[in-house]
């Protein structure tokens, strides 16, 4: 008795599933043709679209489509293949003594990309004054000049390289030479890195002009012959004229002759009414009003500030 009853019940369910159709609805003002309801994979259709889907079936591969759109309906996900890796920095060129982060991105076979966490790749610092963490965090060191650097990221069998620059954004912050008033590149040029003889008060060539002065005067602090010299010339033909002669003089520096009358305790001021004559790197400044019993002169050298 139980078997016939089960067969009869199954037949009722199948008959119900095969008649899940919408009926046409009408009124005095309109008529609507109802779409067919998909029953277990059967198609639904109307005048404007066709839908081949599934009812209660996970992961159907049948699309919904019309002249206006296409819809992948019922997909759990889409499988894409990684075909490459890219690497970017923010910013591209990084200031010295700062922190930044490198960003790896996967490239897929459908031409899309996706940024991934830095911990998903293996990092290698190829060269440059930097440290690189396992998460792609980049820390740059202080430099005395702009320096090229490069980093590499590896993801399975894909690799990407990023070339960038560590910018010398502060001229006086490098190693032992930091904050001493002298450009780091000048000290490294003559003394190499972290040499105590490059300190501002040192006089390594023994010419009684220390490094601070020779830096401003743009001299070689390691050569005794490289000195700034000032002399006073008299002219018998013009008893009231004195020539202040000095050198070497460079176009990257500014020079001003100042004068104090009578005695050294008098404040110095600009030498007015003077005329200049340049021969090579030597300048002669003529004071036409040197009528005092004594006059004192000095040359002030200046350069662009740090």
Pairwise CA distance, residues 141 & 135, whole Å: 18
Domain 82-167 belongs to what architecture? Answer: Sandwich (2.60)
pLDDT, position 76 = 58
**Average pLDDT over every residue of 236-250:** 91
pLDDT above 50 (res 180):
yes
pLDDT surpassing 70 at residue 4: no
User: Are 228 and 219 spatial neighbours (Cβ–Cβ below 8 Å)?
Assistant: yes
Residues 50 and 42 sit within 8 Å (Cβ to Cβ): no
Please report, in angstroms and rounded to a whole number, the separation of the first and last CA atoms in the chain: 105
For residue range 114-137, what is the model confidence (pLDDT) as tens digits? Answer: 999 999 999 999 999 999 999 999
**Looking at per-residue confidence, does 12 or 219 come out higher?**
219
Predicted local distance difference test score (pLDDT) of residue 48: 56
pLDDT of residue 155: 97
pLDDT tens column, 85-102:
999 987 789 999 999 999
Question: For 117, phi and psi rounded to 5 degrees?
Answer: -60, 145
Per-residue confidence (pLDDT) for residue 89, from 0 to 100: 86
Q: What is the pLDDT of residue 235?
A: 80
Mean pLDDT of 259-273: 85
Q: What is the pLDDT of residues 14-70, one digit of tens each?
A: 334 444 445 555 666 655 555 444 445 555 555 555 555 554 444 444 454 444 444
Average pLDDT, the chain: 82
């Amino acid at each position: 008795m139980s078997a016939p009853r089960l067969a009869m019940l199954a037949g009722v369910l199948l008959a119900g599933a095969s008649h899940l159709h919408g009926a046409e609805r009408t009124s005095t003002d309109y008529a609507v043709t109802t779409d067919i309801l998909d029953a277990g994979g059967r198609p639904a259709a109307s005048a404007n679209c066709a839908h081949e889907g599934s009812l209660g079936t996970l992961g159907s591969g049948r699309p919904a489509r019309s002249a206006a759109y296409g819809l992948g309906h019922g997909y759990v996900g889409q499988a894409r293949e990684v075909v490459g890796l890219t690497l970017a920095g923010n910013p591209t060129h990084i200031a010295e003594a700062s922190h930044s982060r490198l960003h790896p991105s996967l490239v897929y076979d459908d031409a899309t990309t996706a940024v991934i966490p830095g911990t998903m790749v293996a990092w290698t610092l190829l060269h440059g004054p930097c440290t690189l963490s396992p998460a792609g965090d980049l820390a740059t060191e202080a430099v005395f000049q702009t320096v090229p650097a490069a980093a590499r990221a590896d993801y399975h069998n894909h690799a990407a390289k990023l070339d960038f620059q560590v910018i010398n954004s502060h001229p006086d912050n490098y190693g032992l030479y930091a904050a001493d008033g002298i450009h780091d590149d000048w000290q490294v040029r003559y003394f190499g890195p972290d040499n105590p003889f490059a300190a501002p008060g040192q006089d390594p060539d023994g010419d009684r002009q220390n490094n601070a002065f020779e830096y401003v005067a743009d001299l070689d602090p390691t050569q005794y012959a490289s000195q700034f010299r000032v002399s006073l010339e008299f002219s018998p033909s013009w008893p009231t004229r004195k020539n202040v002669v000095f050198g070497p003089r460079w176009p990257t520096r500014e020079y001003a002759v100042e004068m104090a009358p009578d005695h050294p305790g008098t404040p110095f001021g600009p030498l007015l009414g003077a005329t200049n004559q340049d021969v090579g790197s030597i300048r002669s400044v003529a004071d036409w009003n040197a009528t005092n019993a004594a006059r004192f002169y000095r040359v002030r050298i200046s350069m662009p500030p740090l």
